[in-house]
């Protein structure tokens, strides 16, 4: 187990900056998820940590040791690749035992460890097969077994579940998390699936355009997003955003287009006049509650998921998406009253897009 | 009649005609190669009645095709060795690394094939005479390597490009250095393709006649030897010589066709 420290890590490919001055401290045994949209630099950052990619600037430390310029084989890491990269010319047991064989461990020990790892992943009966005789899910397990067999200091995973079907993905999510908890290995896990991130990560690092946007537990990321991007990226359906103005000194938000007024908590430091209000779909209700603001609109689309119902409502100031638990009998074209929970409002500066509430 | 049947009958007919087109000369070469001279010249039979090995015997021992065959085999083997020693690393580099002028380099490699070997042969002979390797095995090997190398480079580069780089990276992660990852992972995975390109190189060298004829007098390769001896002999010797030339290539292709097909990206199953 090591603590991984990234100091101002930067990676450029020619003119594109894939990773832009990222500094993070990852604690011993922590499960950290790198989350972000496609092309934001997740894979590149992971590859920098693995040593497959040389950083352009910055340093990477494992505990106190500088590994920035070490080749991958000297970092005591292992990795699960997105396409698994299980070697097709080796049997499953030779794939799993490979890292140990390279380290010239005695045959007896290799066998014991391979057995241990394959039991952990429930693939003991596949050991004598070749990879082309396995299903995608089985191959994925082999890749994970190979990654844990040498008991690495750091375990890196690049979207290991993205090639599996939905059901298996949910199952593997908990299995990998449990496995990591029992091995207590420092783990860095790349995904663009926010559900995976929320359910698996001790902490989540949200990236955009190679820059770290926010790092924190799922609770913090969800309820206290630091900027507009994180607020919009996390949560499904997406947070509603409304352009607003603030009436000078009165701490009241005015929704610009309709004159709707929403009171703000008194302690907010308001400077400029233009802001973006954010409110999550589940924080808009259809029953009146204290400290709420009433808006009216017309339902124009209903997503009946049965576990919840998502309403798309046209109001004077644009579309609002509302999520209500359970079945709700609503017809498209009906008028409806909505109640925005004033205590759940987010506020972002229009120019910097930073959160101030 | 049912459509499927007509379709398969047509396919069969067309495939049969194409096969016949290519096989007929080979069949006649084979028949004539073994025909006794009397039968060969007898206008009453298209297919000879009596067969003999004597042409082979004469060709191999009196006209020293045996010696030439050994030389041809050595030349082909050494050509493969040399062109692979140079071409495989080059092909690997072209497939794995990005560098300035990569495409220009590829084009340059290919453009060496713009100069026909016939044009190169005379200057080569002069240079070889000056440095004292004319009429030697190594002289032809060098010339053949020049001829084969561009193909080896380009073909191996596409073979390595077909080996997922993640296999190699996984090897780096799990404890191998770059060179060991190449030998333990990439090379075994590329082996079928490499074998196919080796066979390709073999056949190119085996069949090459022009440069070999110009560069050598005593140490002729088989095609060069045949050109200078069998072609001045009675006709049935020519067929025997043709048979000797064709058989090794056919045998090689027969055993390697799986790989050869994979080389061009088609899969046989
Ligand atoms: N080898 C490379 N050469 C040049 N540019 C690259 C290279 N690898 C990545 N990039 C660029 O760096 C940026 C980040 O890529 P990266 O693969 O890290 O994204 P990602 O977050 O993993 O995306 P995805 O979710 O699609 O896998 C992209 O703009 C990509 O085009
Ligand atoms: Mg990626």
- Inspect the interface and report whether the beta carbons of A103 and B176 lie closer than 8 Å: no
Q: Which atom of ligand 1 is nearest to the CA of A42?
A: 21
For each of the domains in chain A, give its residue range(s) and CATH number, in order of start.
4-233 (3.40.50.300), 240-349 (2.40.50.140)
- Inspect the interface and report whether the beta carbons of A73 and B164 lie closer than 8 Å: no
**In whole angstroms, what is the distance from residue B200 CA to residue B197 CA?**
5
Q: What's the confidence (pLDDT) of residue A57? A: 96
- B92 CB-near residues (< 8 Å, 6+ apart): B156, B157, B160, B182, B186
Model ipTM? 0.87
Note whether B61 and B47 are same-domain residues. Answer: no
Note whether B134 and B11 are same-domain residues. Answer: no
- B238 CB-near residues (< 8 Å, 6+ apart): B230, B231
Q: How far is A87 from chain B (nearest CA, A)?
A: 6
**In whole angstroms, what is the distance from residue A44 CA to residue A42 CA?**
5
**In whole angstroms, what is the distance from residue A182 CA to residue A213 CA?**
30
Q: What's the pLDDT tens digit per position in A90-131? A: 999 999 999 999 999 999 999 999 999 999 899 999 999 999
Q: What's the pLDDT tens digit per position in B87-113? A: 999 999 999 998 899 989 988 888 887
Note whether B163 and B92 are same-domain residues. Answer: yes
B175 vs A52, A85, A99: nearest CB: A99
Mean pLDDT of B195-218: 87
Note whether B13 and B72 are same-domain residues. Answer: no
Least Cα distance to A141 among A175, A166, A113, A165 occurs for: A175
Note whether B44 and B92 are same-domain residues. Answer: no
Where residue B140 sits, what CATH number does that domain have? Answer: 1.10.3720.10
Note whether B62 and B186 are same-domain residues. Answer: yes
Domain of residue B249 covers 57-268
Q: Which atom of ligand 1 is nearest to the CA of A14?
A: 4
CA of A253 to the centre of ligand 2 (A): 40
Q: Is the pLDDT score of A331 beyond 50?
A: yes
Q: What's the pLDDT tens digit per position in A126-139? A: 999 999 999 999 99
Q: What's the pLDDT tens digit per position in B179-201? A: 999 999 999 999 888 888 888 89
User: pLDDT band at A67, cuts 50/70/90?
Assistant: very high
Tokens of B91: 């092909």
Q: What's the confidence (pLDDT) of residue B165? A: 93
Compute CA distances A178 → A26, A80, A121, B20, whole Å: 19, 16, 11, 66
Q: What's the confidence (pLDDT) of residue B268? A: 41
Q: How many domains does chain B have?
A: 2
């Amino acid at each position: 187990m090591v603590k991984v420290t990234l100091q101002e890590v930067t990676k450029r490919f020619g003119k594109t900056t894939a990773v832009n001055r990222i500094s993070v401290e990852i604690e011993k045994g922590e499960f950290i998820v790198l989350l972000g949209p496609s092309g934001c630099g997740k894979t590149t950052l992971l590859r920098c940590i693995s040593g497959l990619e040389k950083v352009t600037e910055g340093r990477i430390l494992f505990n106190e040791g500088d590994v920035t310029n070490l080749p991958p084989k000297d970092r005591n890491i292992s990795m699960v690749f997105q396409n698994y990269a299980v070697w097709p010319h080796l049997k499953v047991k030779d794939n799993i035992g490979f890292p140990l064989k390279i380290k010239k461990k005695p045959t007896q020990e290799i066998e014991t460890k391979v057995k241990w790892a394959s039991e952990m992943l429930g693939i003991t009966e596949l050991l004598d097969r070749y990879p082309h005789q396995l299903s995608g899910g089985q191959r994925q397990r082999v890749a994970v077994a190979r990654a844990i067999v040498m008991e690495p200091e750091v375990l890196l995973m690049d979207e290991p579940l993205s090639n599996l079907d939905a059901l298996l993905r949910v199952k593997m999510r908990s299995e990998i998390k449990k496995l990591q908890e029992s091995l207590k290995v420092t783990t860095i896990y790349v995904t663009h699936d926010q559900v995976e991130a929320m359910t698996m990560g001790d902490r989540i690092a949200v990236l955009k355009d190679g820059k770290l946007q926010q790092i924190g537990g799922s609770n913090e990321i969800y309820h206290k997003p630091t900027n507009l991007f994180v607020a919009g990226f996390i949560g499904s359906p997406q947070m509603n955003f409304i352009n607003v103005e603030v009436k000078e000194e009165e701490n009241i938000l005015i929704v610009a287009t309709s004159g709707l007024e929403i009171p703000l908590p008194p302690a907010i430091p308001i400077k400029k006049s233009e802001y973006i209000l954010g409110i999550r779909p589940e924080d808009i209700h259809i029953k009146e509650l204290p400290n709420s603001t009433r808006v009216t609109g017309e339902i124009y689309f209903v997503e009946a998921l049965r576990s919840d119902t998502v309403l798309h409502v046209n109001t004077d100031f644009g579309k609002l998406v509302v999520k209500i638990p359970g079945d709700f009998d609503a017809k498209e074209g009906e008028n409806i009253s909505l109640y925005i929970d004033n205590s759940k409002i987010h506020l972002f500066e229009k120019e910097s897009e930073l959160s101030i509430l | 009649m049912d459509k499927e049947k007509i379709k398969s009958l047509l396919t069969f007919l067309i495939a049969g005609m194409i096969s016949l087109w290519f096989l007929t000369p080979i069949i006649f070469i084979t028949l004539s190669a073994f025909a006794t001279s009397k039968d060969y010249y007898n206008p009453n039979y298209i297919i000879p009645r009596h067969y003999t090995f004597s042409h082979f015997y004469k060709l191999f021992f009196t006209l020293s095709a045996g010696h030439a065959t050994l030389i041809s085999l050595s030349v082909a083997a050494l050509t493969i060795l040399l062109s692979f020693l140079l071409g495989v690393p080059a092909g690997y580099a072209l497939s794995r690394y990005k560098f300035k002028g990569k495409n220009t380099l590829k084009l340059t490699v290919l453009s060496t094939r713009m100069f026909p070997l016939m044009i190169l042969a005379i200057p080569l002979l002069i240079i070889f005479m000056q440095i004292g390797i004319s009429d030697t095995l190594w002289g032809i090997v060098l010339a053949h390597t020049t001829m084969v190398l561009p193909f080896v480079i380009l073909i191996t580069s596409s073979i390595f490009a077909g080996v997922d780089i993640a296999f190699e990276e996984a090897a780096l992660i799990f404890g191998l250095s770059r060179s060991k990852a190449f030998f333990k992972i990439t090379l075994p995975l590329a082996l079928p393709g490499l074998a196919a390109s080796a066979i390709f190189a073999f056949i190119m060298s085996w069949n090459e006649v022009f440069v070999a004829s110009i560069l050598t007098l005593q140490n002729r390769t088989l095609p060069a030897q045949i050109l200078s001896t069998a072609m001045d002999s009675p006709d049935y010797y020519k067929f025997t010589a043709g048979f000797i030339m064709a058989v090794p290539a056919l045998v090689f292709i027969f055993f390697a066709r799986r790989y050869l097909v994979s080389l061009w990206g088609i899969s046989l199953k």
